[in-house]
Amino acid sequence: MTQTVSEDTQVEDVESFRRRARAWLAENMLRLPPEPQHSVRRVEYFADADDRQARHRVLQRQLFDGGFAGITFPREYGGLGLSAAHQRAFTEESVVYEMPGLFNIPTFSICGATLLEFGTEEQKRRHILGMLRGDALWIQFLSEPTGGSDLAGLLTSAVRDGDEWVLNGSKIWSTGAFHADWALCLARTNWDVPKHRGLTMFIMEVHQPGVEIHRIKMVNGSMEFCQEFFTDLRIPHSDVLGEVDDGWQVATRLLFHERNAVGGGSTFVSGRDNVQGAGPDDYLLRLVDVSGRLDDPVARDLLGEAHTLKVVEAQIVDRISRAMRTGVMNENAASILRLYRGVMSTRLSTISLDIAGRGAAAWTDDDAAIGDVGMRFVSRQTSCIGGGTTEMARNSISERVLGMPREQTGDRDIPFKQVRRNA
């Protein structure tokens, strides 16, 4: 640890921090309007993603100026250097306020966490503050069109040219690349060694010559996912994160942070993130109410089931996070949380659909919230695919938590250029 604690720094206790946060939030942030009785609200608050990201940058800057940004980030890079308990207290207090949730994943909890681990002093000083001030949204350039789960089999190439690297290839499934500022990009720098040993992680500016971004329309109409095309994109050597050809180690930690964030276990997440299908605490109760089924034991059973799954999620996140922190479990246990959330979210989506009944099939503008239930069900599997599929999580749990035999592969210990692959 390089972190030093100066003499005059006294750590504020959690309750005092909570009280200060409560007062500050009430004074400075917009309180979300209470739900009108007998209604459910739509999950999306913004007409489009551009409005949302612009608003979230402003909100993040407000948090920063108010001294409540980067609660668990080290002080020397602009954070508060406080504990996970302080972060939890702030999140609890902030639930009823409009928060810049867009920054949580991947900017803080995945890219920020990885930068803290592998960045040089200069890289950390240059980039962490920008995140916390709301100036820079980050994304990951990992997956490629030729394969999602087999990340180490990626084909984007980076060739050294003096003090620069020249990248060619394509990335996909980056969320909101069009409004992001910086990215962590994994590329192949050596084709003569087995796949895991020839990768390098780069820090790159998203908008620059040589990068072309296409937006992808998803089934629910969302245009947030993107595909990028790199043509002779030039990146300075000083933007290599970690060591050349050692990018898999960086990626492994990045994926850990991703699983942890997607599973709800990250300490860098500030404010509540939206779980697909979960909604606010009483969302399903309202859905039962507006569907006129408060006296229907079937609907009440579904309501009880949904509540059980959500309460147990918080309990298992707490347990596994604690177990990883104390070393009782290794960090692959984050896959258990990723799997739980994926399975829970799909079930909650189905439960919502069953509660909404025929309202989810056709609706007026006035019951758009019930109509959303059907739309969200159509894209239900998002929660089991995005952030690493639940199948990969099951591989990780069985092989790396339970120690069961690894799957057979056709590319182990073979120079990557000889491995059979998709064109």
Partner 1 sequence: MELELSPDQEVFQDSTRRFLEAECPMTRVRELAEHPDGFERDWWQRGAALGWTALLVPEEQGGGSISGRGLIDLTLVADQFGRHVAPGPLVATNVVAAALAQSGTPEQQVELLPGIVAGEIVATWCDGCTVDRVGDGFVVRGAAAPVEAGAQADWLLVTGDDIQVLVPATASGVQATPLHSLDLVRRFATVRFDDVEVPASAAVARDSVERQLDVALVIQVAEMVGAADRVFAFTLEWAFDRYSFGRPLASYQELKHRFADMKMWLEACHATAAAAANAVEDEAPDAAELASVAKAYVGDFGMELMQDCVQMHGGIGLTYDHDLHVFLRRATQNRALFGSPAWHRQRLAGYLEEAV
Reduce the secondary structure of the chain to three states and give it as a string: CCCCCCCCCCCCCHHHHHHHHHHHHHHHCCECCCCCCCCCCCCCCCCCHHHHHHHHHHHHHHHHHCCCCCCCCCHHHCCCCCCHHHHHHHHHHHCCECCCHHHHHHHHHHHHHHHHHHCCHHHHHHHHHHHHCCCCCEEEECCECCECCCHHHCCCEEEEECCEEEEEEEEEEEECHHHCCEEEEEEECCCCCCHHHCEEEEEEECCCCCEEEEEECCCCCCCCEEEEEEEEEEEEHHHEECCCCEHHHHHHHHHHHHHHHHCCCCCCCCCCCCCCCCCCCCHHHHHHHHCCCCCCHHHHHHHHHHHHHHHHHHHHHHHHHHHHHHCCCCHHHHHHHHHHHHHHHHHHHHHHHHHHHHHHCCCCHHHHHHHHHHHHHHCCCHHHHCCCCHHHHHHHHHHHHCCCCCCCCCCCCCCHHHCCCCC
Between 188 and 338, name the residue whose CB sits nearer to partner 1: 338
Between 328 and 362, name the residue whose CB sits nearer to partner 1: 328
Between 189 and 390, name the residue whose CB sits nearer to partner 1: 390
Between 195 and 293, name the residue whose CB sits nearer to partner 1: 293
Between 233 and 317, name the residue whose CB sits nearer to partner 1: 317
Can you give the binding site for partner 1, defined by CB under 8 A? 282, 285, 294, 297, 300-301, 303-305, 307-309, 311-312, 315-316, 318-320, 322-323, 326, 328, 333, 335-336, 339-340, 343, 391, 393-395, 397-399, 401-402, 404-405, 407
Which residues are 147's β-sheet partners?
144
CB of 82 to partner 1, least distance (A): 23
CB of 300 to partner 1, least distance (A): 4
CB of 243 to partner 1, least distance (A): 32
Between 111 and 320, name the residue whose CB sits nearer to partner 1: 320
Q: Is 33 exposed, middle or buried (0-12, 13-18, 19+ CB in 10 A)?
A: exposed
Between 153 and 263, name the residue whose CB sits nearer to partner 1: 263
Match 């990883």 to its residue by tokens.
324
Between 254 and 316, name the residue whose CB sits nearer to partner 1: 316
CB of 103 to partner 1, least distance (A): 29
CB of 35 to partner 1, least distance (A): 10
Rg (CA), the chain: 22
Between 65 and 391, name the residue whose CB sits nearer to partner 1: 391
